[in-house]
Amino acid sequence: MAPVGGDPVAEYVRLAAIPREHVSDVEEFLHRQQVGSDTVAVLERPGQPVALLRIHAGEATLFSVLPSQEGRSLVHETFIGKIYDATITQVHAIENLADASASKPERIEIAGSRLGGTINLTPYSVDERAALVDALREITPRG
């Protein structure tokens, strides 16, 4: 796994507000889904539950936890594959307009696809951001 931004599974579980009694089971399940070279990031989606994005072999899968009618949490795995209609924008914060080279990548916005949402880049190192952007380019081929 190529973890980005610290532990994306722990961050996902926190943002998804998983009930405490299910946290360890959900974390264990999500960690088991990761393969050595996966890129994993938290995807915040407008009007939808937060999801864990896994990119493996150039294809995307989303994991989200939804409550069931029986009161237990269910992990939904949605295979997305490659995305041909996505627009990916990296948003930079420029603190000093005179020195644009000092910009800090703040987030990635994905629009126009089933992966629509935002990935917060603030906890990522420079290498982690580059790995994530490279992985996103793999799933959005321009043919």
Q: What digits encode the pLDDT tens for the residues 18-47?
A: 888 888 888 888 888 877 778 999 999 988
Question: Which CATH architecture best describes the domain 2-139?
Answer: Roll (2.30)
Residue in 99, 97, 117 with CA at minimum distance from that of residue 109: 117
Give the predicted TM-score (pTM) of the model: 0.82
Q: How far apart are CA 15 and CA 5, in angstroms?
A: 14
Each residue's pLDDT tens digit, 85-139:
888 888 887 776 666 666 778 899 999 888 899 999 988 888 888 899 999 999 9
Residues 6+ apart with CB under 8 A from 51: 12, 42, 43, 45, 62, 63, 64, 117
Q: Which residue has the tokens 């629009």?
A: 111
**What are the sequence ranges of the domains in the chain?**
2-139
